[in-house]
């Protein structure tokens, strides 16, 4: 999928996880950056996980957006899977240029191809611009979400 000056594609193991993380770090800039070994292990695990696909928006050789998906098996709704979307991030200088829309549409296409009955995501309550964006592409606020953060491992 293309947005003119960027393309959306699936991440591949050969991509540099440090460069991908540079975009993702915008979600939690106060967190410590993971050490390279831990990041490399997480990168390998991500690519090995069944149903997992990280989408990247790429302008030239620069990663400008990410969207992480997981298609999960399911026993309800005719045993059709569902997709969870996480880590939707667009670099600040690339916002309002169609990057998030292109990423989301690619994820929705993947979900339809996988036979998913729904796509769900959660968004921080303070991200009202993001909520308006999600509504503009057909998502409805239809649930109350809960999180429990666990202590970090050493």
CATH of the domain at 43: 3.40.630.30
Strands across the sheet with 119-121, in order?
Answer: 7-10, 52-59, 62-72, 82-90, 119-121
- Domain assignment present for 91: yes
pLDDT in tens, 14-31: 999 999 999 998 888 888
Please report whether residue 126 resides in a domain.
Answer: yes
Give me the number of domains the chain comprises.
1
In a domain, residue 21? The reply is yes
pLDDT tier at 8, thresholds 50, 70, 90: very high
Instruction: Name the pTM for this structure.
Output: 0.91
Within a domain: 24: yes
- The CA distance from 55 to 81, in Å, is 19
The pair of structure tokens assigned to 137 is 């592409």
């Amino acid at each position: 999928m293309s947005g003119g000056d960027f393309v959306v594609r699936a991440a591949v193991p050969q991509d540099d996880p440090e460069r991908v993380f540079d975009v993702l770090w915008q979600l939690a800039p106060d967190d410590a950056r993971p050490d390279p070994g831990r990041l490399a292990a997480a990168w390998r695990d991500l690519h090995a996980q069944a149903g997992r696909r990280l989408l990247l928006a790429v302008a030239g050789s620069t990663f400008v957006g990410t969207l992480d998906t997981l298609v999960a098996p399911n026993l309800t709704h005719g045993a059709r899977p569902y997709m969870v979307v996480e880590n939707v991030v667009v670099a600040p200088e690339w916002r309002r240029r169609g990057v998030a829309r292109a990423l989301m549409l690619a994820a929705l296409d993947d979900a339809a191809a996988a036979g998913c009955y729904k796509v769900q995501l959660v968004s921080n309550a303070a991200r009202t611009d993001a909520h308006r964006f999600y509504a503009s592409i057909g998502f409805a606020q239809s649930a109350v979400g809960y999180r429990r953060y666990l202590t970090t491992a050493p």
